[in-house]
Amino acid sequence: MTDLGYDGRVAVVTGAGGGLGREYAFLLASRGARVVVNDTGGSTGGEGVDDGPACTVAREIRDQGGEALADTHSVATPEGGQGLVRAALDTYGQVDIVINNAGILRDAAFDDTTAEVLDPVLDVHLKGAFFVTRPAWAGMQEQRYGRVINTVSAAGLLGTAGKSNYGAAKAGLVGLTRTLALEGAAHGIKVNAVAPIALTRILTQSMAKREAPQAAADHEAEPVASAMTVDRMRAFVDRLAPALVAPVVAYLAHEDCPVSGEVYTVGAGQVSRFFIGRTKGYFNPALTMEDVRDHFVEISDQTEYTVPSDPGEEIAQLFKVIGGRSEHA
């Protein structure tokens, strides 16, 4: 089998000045992609700007013989997204790949989740994916080719206390991923998502807060992963290299990517698919509140479940049950 390459494709990687995005940018560039390295270079909370991280990564790629452009637009505004895509088009003439990776944390208990901690997180993670992908979408439709990778999180898929803003933004990206997969299908555009687990400053900060919750005098929240202690995470941190997430993102960004609308969790070289399942459930055409109480175990039972690919398939399953039952009524 031959190695996978990008054959001059152009990739926009947001938040590529460090952490996971940096690894994505390096891997894509090393396989022939021309890469726009976007990053505002601020703090983990999104404060401040610094063109250093984006410029350094772009320079390092060029030093290694790759092609890269540094960009410091913020993904958190429509103007920023347009400016970023414009920079890519002006320099390279096309955008084939968008990796929405930029991220910030403003953890807070739900009581303390004021607009000040909610809006910036929604703006960067959720709206940022709209603001960057939309300007690139028209060109992808025209060229009948595109790859979009969104970055979600177990905090959104499964929930994590103290991260309602972040979890809601990340779960929202799942809906965006699945919807764009459907809209892009007729135009050769594939849209998928990854939920990474990697030792970056975001994970380090979350772990530090869990270790010293009292130190969060500003009411930023403490928990990072309700089911896993920091001690257990610490035992594995040296295995959680961001570079081990990059191959999955790179494959989803490649022409050969066989799927669209899917979510993969990846960390330390372990890759799995997340999916949304529907239990077989319970049906009663004269359903009452008490029926719900009395059949709750059956409703929740996971032994027989399906994974509907879209709302049409889910409704078809419902109609099958209704139709089957009425035939026998």
Alpha-helical (H) ranges within 193-273 are 201-211, 230-236, 246-252
- Smallest distance from ligand NAD to CB 19, Å: 2
Q: Give the SS3 label for residue 170.
A: helix
| DSSP secondary structure of 46-106 | S----SHHHHHHHHHHHHTT-EEEEE---TTSHHHHHHHHHHHHHHHS---EEEE------
Asked if 150 is part of the footprint of ligand NAD (rule: CB under 6 A), the reply reads no
Q: Which is nearer to ligand NAD, 101 or 113 (CB)?
A: 101
- Smallest distance from ligand NAD to CB 153, Å: 4
Query: 67: which strand partners?
Result: 34
- Smallest distance from ligand NAD to CB 124, Å: 5
Residue in 5, 30, 31, 42 binding ligand NAD, rule: CB under 6 A: 42
Near ligand NAD in 105-134, by CB under 6 A: 124
| DSSP secondary structure of 200-214 | SHHHHHHHHHHH-GG
Contacting residues for 295 by C-beta, under 8 A, at least 6 apart: 282, 284
Residue in 28, 108, 203, 221 binding ligand NAD, rule: CB under 6 A: 203
Near ligand NAD in 49-68, by CB under 6 A: 53
Q: Which is nearer to ligand NAD, 238 or 256 (CB)?
A: 238
Asked if 15 is part of the footprint of ligand NAD (rule: CB under 6 A), the reply reads yes
- Smallest distance from ligand NAD to CB 225, Å: 10
Q: Which is nearer to ligand NAD, 228 or 324 (CB)?
A: 228
- Rounded Cα distance between 181 and 260, Å, is 5
- Which residues are catalytic, by number? 166
Asked if 160 is part of the footprint of ligand NAD (rule: CB under 6 A), the reply reads no
Residue in 29, 87, 102, 230 binding ligand NAD, rule: CB under 6 A: 102
Burial of 27 (0-12, 13-18, 19+ CB in 10 A): buried
- Rounded Cα distance between 21 and 35, Å, is 11
Are 45 and 104 in contact, with CB atoms under 8 Å apart?
yes
- Rounded Cα distance between 237 and 200, Å, is 10
Q: Which is nearer to ligand NAD, 144 or 165 (CB)?
A: 165
Residue in 11, 88, 104, 180 binding ligand NAD, rule: CB under 6 A: 104
- Smallest distance from ligand NAD to CB 185, Å: 25
Q: Residue 7 — left, alpha, or beta (φ > 0 → left; ψ -120 to 50 → alpha)? A: left
Report residue 77 as tokens. 């505004």
Q: Which is nearer to ligand NAD, 15 or 66 (CB)?
A: 15
Residues in contact with ligand NAD by the rule CB under 6 A: 14-15, 17-21, 38-42, 44, 46, 53, 74-76, 101-104, 124, 151, 153, 195-198, 200-203
